Amino acid sequence: MIETAAQHFSMPSRPAYSPVVTLTEQLKMPANSNRFNRFFALLLFQFATFSSVWAQLPELSSRQLSWLGDQIFTNECNRDQDCLTGWNEGEQFPSLGIGHFIWIPAGQQAPFEETFPALIDFMLTEGLDVPDWIAAARHSGAPWQSRSEFYAQFAMPKMGQLRRFLYATRNEQAVFIARRLWQTLPELTAGLPAAEVSVIEQRFESVARAAPPYGLYALIDYLHFKGSGLRVSERYQGQGWGLLQVLQNMEPAATDLDSFINSAARMLERRVRNAPEARNEQRWLAGWTARLQTYRPAAEN
């Protein structure tokens, strides 16, 4: 799971969620750079390689994908560039980029999926100019051993270089996040009874086609935000809160998107109830719930 935006940073502080650039405004913006269009073409090619129901899903245009990245950046940081490098209170690792990708410190372990190294691998494979010290350390671990050490270096040149790099590659990070949905799809139904597989596929497709592009945004963002729900280590009292659990617990509602949002809210509430008391996850529930509301088209009005 990519456990991102799960907590509000104490340093720097972040305002409440509020969409800043609407889809309508984004569609009026100039075309993206050639580099981003190349990344986008790669994403579409990967979508087309699936022969199952997943290959029949609607596609995002390059501008919609750019809007997706901006929306995730808004959800995570309210578009505050300083927030691209942060360390959540109570966590053992920094969270970096528009999606707050986890980078576990060298020699340490954490129960959540580490994603920052995979992001840097992707960028290097695609020929991006990654800062040398980041490329060299990506698999050995983050160079900060504690939150206090991290923030002691917050204003230093290397940290500033990292923030500028992460800000300049927002679109590429959006591609990386979107790719994960298609890479995860076969895993979601693997091992499920045949009857349940068809139900999950139908619900997934219905949400994906709802209120374009918001349905796909909801699926992509929630998977990134709270994970697939497949990892046993990412459960409290045997119950998960990821994309699979949300799809499994959908009930009839006004729209498929409403049903998805309502189920996600219930799964996050259940997570809070099941969480160890010492984690005090109730403090984050309001922010999580607010993020779910950005999946509704009315959030732009």
Q: Phi first, then psi: what are they for 95, rounded to 5°? A: -125, 125
Taking residues 255-271, report their average pLDDT. Answer: 96
Query: Is the model more confident about 32 or about 95?
Result: 95
d(CA 60, CA 282): 35
d(CA 100, CA 31): 26
Q: Return mean pLDDT, the chain.
A: 82
d(CA 268, CA 274): 10
Secondary structure (H, E, C), the chain: CCCCCCCCCCCCCCCCCCCCCCHHHHHCCCCCCHHHHHHHHHHHHHHHCCCCHHHHCCCCCHHHHHHHHHHHHHHHHCCCHHHHEECCCCCCCCEECCCCEECCECCCCCCCCCCHHHHHHHHHHCCCCCCHHHHHHCCCCECCCCHHHHHHCCCCHHHHHHHHHHHHCHHHHHHHHHHHHHHHHHHHHCCCCHHHHHHHHHHHHHHHCCCCCHHHHHHHHHHHHHCCCCCCCCCECCECCCHHHHHHCCCCCCCHHHHHHHHHHHHHHHHHHHCCHHHCCHHHHHHHHHHHHCCCHHHHC
- Token digits for 224? 């990134």
Q: What is the pLDDT of residues 89-111, one digit of tens each?
A: 888 999 999 989 999 999 998 77
In angstroms, how far is the first alpha carbon of the chain from the final one? Answer: 32
pLDDT the model gives residue 81: 94
- 156-177 burial, b at 16+ Cβ within 10 Å, e below that, comes to eeebeebbebbeebbbbbbbbb
Taking residues 79-95, report their average pLDDT. Answer: 92
Residue 272 burial (CB < 10 Å; 0-12/13-18/19+)? middle
Model confidence band, residue 55 (pLDDT cutoffs 50, 70, 90): low
Q: What is the pLDDT of residues 179-202, one digit of tens each?
A: 888 888 888 989 899 989 999 988
Taking residues 15-40, report their average pLDDT. Answer: 42
pLDDT the model gives residue 139: 95
Q: What is the pLDDT of residues 210-255, one digit of tens each?
A: 998 899 999 999 998 898 999 888 899 999 999 999 999 999 887 8
Residue 4 near residue 116 (C-beta atoms within 8 A): no
Contacts of 191 (CB under 8 A, 6+ apart): none
Q: What is the pLDDT of residues 144-169, one digit of tens each?
A: 999 999 999 999 999 999 999 999 99
pLDDT the model gives residue 20: 35
Which amino acid is residue 273, in one-letter code? R
Query: Is the model more confident about 10 or about 232?
Result: 232
Taking residues 257-262, report their average pLDDT. Answer: 96
pLDDT the model gives residue 106: 92
pLDDT the model gives residue 35: 53
Taking residues 31-35, report their average pLDDT. Answer: 47
Model confidence band, residue 175 (pLDDT cutoffs 50, 70, 90): confident
Query: Is the model more confident about 182 or about 138?
Result: 138
Q: What pTM, to 2 d.p., does this model score?
A: 0.72
pLDDT the model gives residue 178: 84
pLDDT the model gives residue 34: 53
pLDDT the model gives residue 298: 66
The share of the chain scoring above pLDDT 90, in percent, equals: 53
Query: Is the model more confident about 298 or about 130?
Result: 130
d(CA 241, CA 263): 10
33 has a pLDDT exceeding 60: no
275 has a pLDDT exceeding 90: yes
Domain positions in the chain: 23-300
